[in-house]
A and B are shown apart, each in its own frame.
Chain A
Amino acid sequence: MKRVRIVALREDRKRLLEHIQDSALIQIKKPDKKNKGFSKVDVASQMQVFERNVQLCETTLKILDEYAREKKGLLSSFSGRKEIDPDDIGVIASNSGKVIEICRKINDLNKKIVDNSAEQIRISTSLSQLEVWQKLDIPINTEDTKSTAVFIGSLPAEYTDKELSDTITQENSKLEFEFEIQYCENKMTCLVLFVPISQKTMAEDVLRNLGFSKPMTGTSHTPAIKAERLRKRSKELLIDSEKAENEIVALSDNREDIKVTQDYFRIRADKYSVINELDHTNHVFVIEGYIPEKDYEDLVKLCERVSTCYIEAWDADEEEAPVKLKNNRFSTPAQSILTMYAPPSHADIDPTPLLAFFFYFFFGMMFSDAGYGLLMVIAIGIILKVFKPDTQMRNNLKLFQYCGVSTFFWGLVFGSIFGDAPAVLYNYFTDSQITMAQMLPWPTLDPQKDALMLMIISIAFGLVHILVGMGCKFYICFKQKDYAAAFFDTGLWMLMLVGFAVIGVGMATTQTVLYIGAGIAIACAVGLILTQGRNKKGFGKVIGGLASLYDVTSYISDLLSYSRLLALGLTTGVMAQVFNMLATMFGKGVVGMIFMIVIMLLGHAINIGLNALGSYVHTMRLQYVEMFSKFYEGGGQEFEPFSLKSKYIKIKEDK
């Protein structure tokens, strides 16, 4: 990684930055301190405009999704961004104003619909309140006349005419009154009460005692007319909203344009946020950043082509510089597994190739079915061809494709092709009793019968995996010239594990081998006791050495952990077998055939889903917990070049 500094004329700024953004060669580094004689250019206001436009497009797309859902295929999430010609950017830019106008319009229409539906709710509350006054033939707001006071309202109980008049008389026998009950149901009585104006206060007291309340919705028309008007208004609003909705649907043809425009503004906002950080003088500006060594020539060529500038580069400080992973086609797909854990720091080696190999290998061993493997390879091949996904998605798919290849081979080793489907189907149609092992021309290792054997094999693979991890540690220590750590901390343990392996072999074969293994192990143990306390003082030296032997438990538990290779391999096989068995249980009639096909398809789909997930998760765990813990530090910064970070479009490279 190199540090690079480009000094160029301000008039070239737009062109140069655009080209750098297109090429995605350098990661821009903010100046750490204020440099004398330089100042910043404030472009925050432009940036805000761009960001607001991005936001506007985003909400518009959401609105469009609500009213006119985009028709998407089931697999469309695999498809890559749309490719556009570099020359089209000018067109997009000149159209952007128009598109933003459309976005505003869609937003306004949406606001109208939202407002309308809020008003609809208000209307429907008013209507339900007016419901009980439908029979009233005077306005609710009717005022007192010269001689008569009018009370219109409700009481919180049900009364008949007689009960009400009795109740009022009981409250105040002097009160003269006349009333009319409008509505009486649900613990509520709506009434109109007339009293002489001289007795108004008396009547108010009586009514208050009875819990009288005035209606919420006042109107100077009769309730019937008011309700009619409200209904009419509601209908108008409905039509209005519908019209607005139709307009939005009509405008949804612009969806693609909006997406493209959003990306356009997103890219520009990115660029301006970089400009905001750069140092400027009156005539020149300075870009500082990191660049991978091999790309430096390209950058120089590019800059000289588009601007008048001065470029200098020097070796970057390793501790601060970001890390760019560089891998071949075989191991690149596994890079995402590595970065999910942590990008390597400057002290680490890049373990991706090892990771990739073991990832494919173990995944295949766990998923272990030739049929499923083939299916993965073919399905992913088709998806890659048809949808042309973006780099990251393509790498993820490739990861599973390679895993599929390994799954295929392990399936052949275990004699499992969609479980025992070939044998089951053969037996089903010919009424014979053949097994997979008899059917396949090559010798197979049946995880069910030879489980113990397979467990030993799994742990042996585990041993290799762990030794490789420790080998990396050895290499790293050696490179840092920490020979004590390399030989004593790592080397002795590696030898010790080898010793254990030899003991294991010896137990199965001859005594001599066993003694050799035991000799190695004991020698290593002595070595460890002698060396592990080397940084401690006095008595601590012995204790430290002895205590280090306790680590043997962690190695044993690590090794046992690899028995999951057997367990998951077995799970896939047995589940497939169970479904095959279920499928052929319904006899040979037409119905039986239909059942067979349905159960097989469904069963194997479930099996693939469950066990692919299990294999993925557990393979990952073996890498992270068992292998990485031996040597990998992580915690580096990933190289993130200044580039076109778009969501929907990508720009075709000039060829």
Chain B
Amino acid sequence: MFTNGMFFALVGASIATALAGFGSAKGVGGAAQASMGVLSEDSSKFGKMLVLTLLPGTQGLYGFIVGFLILVNCGVLGGDVPSIAQGLAFLGASLAIGIGGMVSGFAQGRAAVSGIAMSAKDDRNFSKAMVSVTLVEIYALLSFIVSLLVVISVPALKI
């Protein structure tokens, strides 16, 4: 049915970008709601609130980068057209950041909401809140690195 793996590679690019983006969108959305609640009381906290709100946004970026690198390597924006096995490898690689990014985006969003509430009470809590919220991010990072290492090595694989 398929003569090459382009289709799978493109599905992979979409999964990486969309699922991770979904996680970030939900995370940032929730955090933004909470921070706007705080800002309605005290608009001078905007800078700090912005930092905490944007923290769950990185997953979407990671997903986008994996998606982009797949496009670069699968013959859409450069590279050679992949074989079916290579296409499936791209698809498999995208699952890591897709799922990992999505779930960690949700989790980080919830942590960011609590962080916002905490630093709204006392400005000095801000750095603690910020560090605590970034603790979640390591799991998105690990997913990203696995996806990344696979994606960049697929073109060289003889499969």
Contact = CB atoms under 8 A, between A and B. Distances in A.
Interface of A: 340-341, 448-449, 451-452, 455, 557, 560-561, 563-564, 566-567, 570-571, 574-575, 578, 581, 610, 613-614, 617-618, 620-621, 624-625
10 contacts: A451-B145, A455-B149, A561-B138, A564-B138, A567-B62, A570-B65, A578-B68, A613-B51, A620-B130, A621-B135
A25 B62 CA distance: 50
Contact of B68 (A567, A574, A617): A574
Contact of A567 (B69, B126, B145): B145
Given A571-B65, A575-B65, A581-B77, A448 B145 contact: no
A20 to B, nearest CB: 28
Interface in B128-159: 130-131, 134-135, 137-138, 141-142, 144-145, 148-149, 152
A575 B149 CA distance: 18
A570 B97 CA distance: 15
B142 A574 contact: no
Nearest to A623: B131
Contacts of B142: 560, 563
Name the 6 nearest CB pairs between A and B, nearest first.
A340-B127, A621-B134, A574-B65, A624-B131, A567-B141, A621-B131
A610 B130 contact: no
Contacts of B58: 571, 614
B148 A610 contact: no
Contacts of A563: 141-142, 145
Contacts of B69: 448, 574
A432 to B, nearest CB: 15
Interface residues of B, number: 26
B120 to A, nearest CB: 17
A613 B141 contact: no
Task: Name A's interface SS.
Answer: helix
Interface of B: 51, 54-55, 57-58, 61-62, 65, 68-69, 77, 126-127, 130-131, 134-135, 137-138, 141-142, 144-145, 148-149, 152
Contacts of B61: 571, 575, 610
B127 A570 contact: no
A610 B127 contact: no
A510 B65 CA distance: 36
Given A451-B148, A563-B145, A618 B134 contact: yes
Contacts of A624: 127, 131
Contacts of A341: 127
Given A340-B127, A617-B130, A564 B152 contact: no
B97 to A, nearest CB: 11
B28 to A, nearest CB: 12
Given A448-B152, A570-B65, 4 more contacts: A340-B126, A455-B145, A613-B51, A621-B131
A613 B69 CA distance: 23
B83 to A, nearest CB: 21
Contacts of B68: 574, 578
Contacts of A452: 149
B54 to A, nearest CB: 6
Contacts of B138: 557, 560-561, 564
B150 to A, nearest CB: 10
A617 B62 contact: no
A220 B65 CA distance: 79
A549 to B, nearest CB: 23
A293 B142 CA distance: 49
Contacts of A449: 152
Nearest to A611: B61
Contacts of B134: 617-618, 621
Contacts of A564: 137-138, 141
A344 to B, nearest CB: 15
A561 B139 CA distance: 9
Nearest to A609: B54
Given A564-B141, A567-B62, A620-B127, A451 B54 contact: no
A343 to B, nearest CB: 12
Contacts of B51: 613, 617
Contacts of B55: 617
A295 to B, nearest CB: 27
A317 B135 CA distance: 38
A566 B131 CA distance: 19
A585 to B, nearest CB: 10
A570 B131 CA distance: 22
Contacts of A614: 58
A428 B59 CA distance: 32
Nearest to B144: A567
Given A567-B62, A574-B69, A610 B141 contact: no
Contacts of B65: 570-571, 574-575
Contact of B149 (A451, A560, A574): A451
A541 to B, nearest CB: 34
Given A567-B62, A571-B62, A610-B61, A620 B131 contact: yes
Nearest to B78: A581
A613 B127 CA distance: 14
A566 B145 contact: yes
A614 B130 CA distance: 11
Nearest to A621: B134
A610 B148 CA distance: 20
Contact of B148 (A570, A617, A625): A570
Given A448-B69, A567-B145, A617-B51, A625 B127 contact: no
B64 to A, nearest CB: 8
A448 B141 CA distance: 16
Name the residue in B54, B58, B68 with the highest tally of chain A Cβ atoms < 10 Å from its Cβ: B58
B108 to A, nearest CB: 12
A610 B127 CA distance: 18
